[in-house]
Structure 1
Amino acid sequence: MVARRGRAVSERPSRPPWSEFKSALDAAGFRPSRRLGQNFLLDENVARAIVADAGVARGDQVLEVGPGLGFLSVHLAHAGVKLSCIEVDSRLASIAAEFLRPYPDAQVILGDALAGKHALGPELLAQVPAEGDWHMVANLPYSISGPILALIANHTNPPRSLSVLVQNEVAERLSANGGSAQFGPLSVAVQLAFQMRAGRRVSPGAFSPRPKVESRLVHGELRSPLLPQQARVEIRDLAAGMLQRRRQVLRRVLGDHVGDRETACTHLKQAGLDPGLRVGAVTLEGWEALARELNPVLGAPEPS
């Protein structure tokens, strides 16, 4: 089900003030769901900064997951992008669609961004082009930020860039350096597709209701060349399985994986890894090298 699109206008309309969004929320008698991670961004300066930092331009195809009231959506639409917003809550979808009425290239689509824990929802997938550039900009609901970014990174056509507001803890994991304490399965999954960096911090006061944690903007630029999807899957799965025992040494953990430690040591040395290294100290490049050693037919990176 697709909410009403914006109507054509001769010039860009003015953005409504944040107070109108707050009034719409109050008028609807809406109570945000902690389970769904509903913390609505209502800070003009932060919304403008997110759009500016994202670097999207007029005509760019942009996907926003979890628009909520449409506050960030309006700022994106005002920049002239072709905007598709995926919202799971029908009441919020209606409110956001009303605020986006003046923008002909913006639409709110009612649907779940996820189909369970391990797949993107059909409504979201329908908005992702099979080829060509697109971008993701969003204040992601806390409850789905990790899973959805891992799945987006593993899509056959990941976005050219992403700029998302997430919990600070998640931001640290997304942008962690290989081998650090924060570098884990989520780091590997996302960094296989994107070069990640942490951006500006956002205080709880920028949201309604006020969350208990600080948020942070993170940016990702699509890697070029990009590994084929199947290679990304195999590297991700290898790292995710072994990182469950991150404090143990590689020869022991890989030995359990391949059947014996002697074979494991041979594979590790061929991959340029010290068999006595702890699993948690392996970098992104190390995981790729090990996956290629275990499966030499892994595809080469795709041309940009």
Structure 2
Amino acid sequence: MKKERGAGSGERGTKGIECGPQVERAGTGRLADLKAMLDARGLSPRKSLGQNFLLDTNFAAAVAREAGADARTLLLEVGPGTGFLTRALLDAHPTARVLAIELDRGLVELLRDRFSGEIASNRLTLLEGDALDGKHGLDADWLAEADRIAQSEGRSRRVLCANLAYNMATPLIANLLLGAQASCPPESFANGGASRTAGPQPAQRMVQRIVATVQLELAERLVGKPSTNDYGPLSIFASLCASARIVRKVGAEVFWPRPHVHSAVLRIDLPPWFETPFTPEEAASFLEFLHRVFGQRRKTLRAVLKGALPSDHPLAGARAEDVSPTELLGFFRSPLVLKCSATRQPARSVIPRSARRRSG
């Protein structure tokens, strides 16, 4: 992997969404400057990478502030594009370090020139490549570089702040929700109540916060409530092991080319695993269970589990979409579900089936 890398800032689907009163409109855009910057290098938005470039500096500054970074923070940006959000992150958080990863080689060259001073002074590290390893994992070199910076500079807090292409937003967020750091500096546990002595430490999250501009549809799925169409494995999992909310809705005007849908700024705060109801290992199994019971969301739990539940069980006649996250977790841990685990079909991905259909 080359140190100059991301996955373009992204187009978010094809379905139109009416703009309500909460949708933020663009301020003074810089479309002419953006086009001139790209034209000078013979570059243009690549549909294959879902590139819709951020062009509103006021909006970029607002997103950067939401990251809440300080001197112990490593900011991770995926798909910096032409660098509007990168610039905002560097300006808003002068003591933080930014690790950006970009897939488009032409944009990597542009970013290298635009931020040559910040790269030379180690305020910014730029990698060329893809943050995802397929759709089922994260790139090992990207994670290794994040580990190296975090440990060498004592940056115990990691925040993903990015304008994400929709074709990679779902798998990236799902993998970050599910994953744990392989290694972590002891000082990162200073505020978590864990021991700072040598030896094994409790698993930490890969990031402690996610601030991402994504398609509005995805944001609404991540905060979906029971008995709604947005409620599913991703929203259930996020509600139990994180705190997710939509910060603001965003009109198409802040991007070029304009996407055909509206977007939203999504913020997810992730506590250490020991503050969640399960371990990383149990989390993976629980997510497989959720995929199973939501794979046929209109069927009752008794029907999905092939009659493993007695007819008089409180949840026998319920559909998964109508059961709360805590009830589903308790049900997952019950002897009745464990009894039928031998017939459980393992999920092939942490990504919801509907998201796989919509993704690139």
Counterpart for residue 284 of structure 2: 233
Query: CA–CA distance in 2 between the matches of 1:265 and 1:69?
Result: 58
Query: CA–CA distance in 2 between the matches of 1:59 and 1:40?
Result: 29
How many matched pairs? 274
Deviation string 1:154-178 (CA, Å, 9 cap, x unpaired) is 1113311111000010110111124
Query: CA–CA distance in 1 between the matches of 2:144 and 2:67?
Result: 23
Q: TM-score, normalised by structure 2?
A: 0.71
**Deviating runs (4+, > 6 A) in structure 1?**
none
Q: What residue ranges of structure 2 are gaps of 5+ in the alignment? A: 6-29, 181-204, 340-360
Counterpart selection for 1:137 from 127, 141, 161: 161
1:185 partner letter? P
Residues 240 and 326 of structure 2 are in contact (CA less than 8 Å); yes or no, is this contact kept in structure 1? no
Q: Kindly state the Cα deviation for residue 55 of structure 1 after the two structures are TM-superposed.
A: 1.8
Q: What residue ranges of structure 1 are gaps of 5+ in the alignment? A: 5-16, 297-304
What are the residue-to-residue correspondences of 1:144-163 with 2, within 5 Å?
144-156=168-180, 157-163=205-211
Deviation string 1:224-282 (CA, Å, 9 cap, x unpaired) is 5033111110111100121011111111112x2xxxx2x3238x94xxx5211112112
CA spacing shift, 1:20–1:106, aligned 2, 3 Å? farther
Counterpart selection for 2:54 from 29, 41, 57: 41
Deviation string 1:204-238 (CA, Å, 9 cap, x unpaired) is 11001111111100101113503311111011110
Q: Kindly state the Cα deviation for residue 124 of structure 1 after the two structures are TM-superposed.
A: 2.5
1:135 partner letter? V
Counterpart for residue 270 of structure 2: 222
Q: Could you say which structure has the greater relative contact order, defined with CA pairs below 8 angstroms and 6 or more residues apart?
A: 2
2:102 partner letter? E
For the pair 1:2 / 2:3, whether they are aligned, the reply is: yes
CA spacing shift, 1:190–1:109, aligned 2, 3 Å? farther
Q: CA RMSD in A?
A: 2.3
Query: CA–CA distance in 2 between the matches of 1:70 and 1:122?
Result: 24
Give the SS at the match of 2:106.
helix
Identity level (%)? 30
CA spacing shift, 1:265–1:198, aligned 2, 3 Å? farther
Query: CA–CA distance in 1 between the matches of 2:325 and 2:115?
Result: 41
For the pair 1:83 / 2:98, whether they are aligned, the reply is: yes
Counterpart selection for 1:99 from 106, 114, 130: 114
Counterpart for residue 246 of structure 1: 297
Counterpart selection for 1:173 from 197, 221, 227: 221
Q: Kindly state the Cα deviation for residue 53 of structure 1 after the two structures are TM-superposed.
A: 2.1
Query: CA–CA distance in 2 between the matches of 1:121 and 1:40?
Result: 23
Deviation string 1:119-140 (CA, Å, 9 cap, x unpaired) is 1122322244399421110001
Q: TM-score, normalised by structure 1?
A: 0.83
For the pair 1:288 / 2:329, whether they are aligned, the reply is: yes
Counterpart selection for 2:309 from 247, 264, 275: 264
Q: Kindly state the Cα deviation for residue 187 of structure 1 after the two structures are TM-superposed.
A: 2.1
CA spacing shift, 1:127–1:20, aligned 2, 3 Å? farther
